[in-house]
Chains A and B, each alone.
Chain A
Amino acid sequence: EIVMTQSPATLSVSPGERATLSCRASQSVSSNLAWYHQKPGQAPRLLIYGASTRATGVPARFSGSGSGTEFTLTISSLQSEDFAVYYCQHYTNWPPLTFGGGTKVEIK
């Protein structure tokens, strides 16, 4: 089973600032990596797939990078609606498909 580890667990950021979230895989997942965010009381929403491709309707302030075992999600200028929990997920060599533990982005 591929284990996904996200850091930090909590990130405190001021509105308008840049946020950088990390996701590490226990073995290579190539570029088969997706990012989601989840706001309280809502289902998760796909942001990024293929490590760096934005899903339909996702604002350009969200960008993903990385391949192999190290991945980054960057939010260039945090808006109020971006304060949420962010998850990464690999989709290679499954089952199982696995998610990271999440990073909570909170208002500083």
Chain B
Amino acid sequence: EVQLVQSGAEVKKPGQSLKISCKGSGYSFTNYWIGWVRQMPGKGLEWMGIIYPGDSDTRYSPSFQGQVTISADKSISTAYLQWSSLKASDTAMYYCVRPSSSWFYFDYWGQGTLVTVSS
């Protein structure tokens, strides 16, 4: 059974750094892209970016390029989303997502990680 299990909720202050994780299991982690989707409170879904763990090829939405870093450690089947300096506007639920093998619709979703940034 394919599973994406994300790290727990975080409460941070503006300016702090953060790295959240998503561990994939039940499939060959290196052979599928894995990405991140943001959902701000009461709002819709925004695709942030995606990485291919096999060769670390990473693509970002222009809206998030330079704002976050996506990485993966294939030795432990885990993808990461990282901020170097959080802002209050980063407060949101973040989902990791796995597309199908051939097309970039998302058939598997993590449970979500709630990030709250507040002074």
Q: Which A residues fall within an 8 A CB radius of B?
A: 1, 32, 34, 36, 38, 43-46, 49-50, 55, 87, 89, 91, 94-102
Contacts and interface: CB of A to CB of B under 8 A. Distances in A.
A38 B106 CA distance: 13
Interface string B95-108: 10001100111110
A99 B99 CA distance: 14
Nearest to B46: A99
A52 B60 CA distance: 28
Interface in B42-62: 44-47, 49-50, 59-62
Enumerate the 6 nearest inter-chain pairs by beta-carbon distance, A residue then B residue, closest first: A34-B105, A96-B61, A91-B104, A43-B109, A99-B45, A97-B47
B105 A91 contact: yes
Interface residues of B, number: 23
A43 B111 contact: yes
B109 A99 contact: no
B24 interface: no
A43 B111 CA distance: 6
A100 B112 contact: no
Contacts of B119: none
Q: From A1, A95, A99, A102, name the one whose CB has the most chain B CB atoms within 10 angstroms.
A: A95
A98 B48 CA distance: 9
A46 B44 contact: no
B111 A99 contact: no
B63 interface: yes
Given A43-B95, A49-B105, 4 more contacts: A36-B106, A44-B109, A96-B61, A99-B46
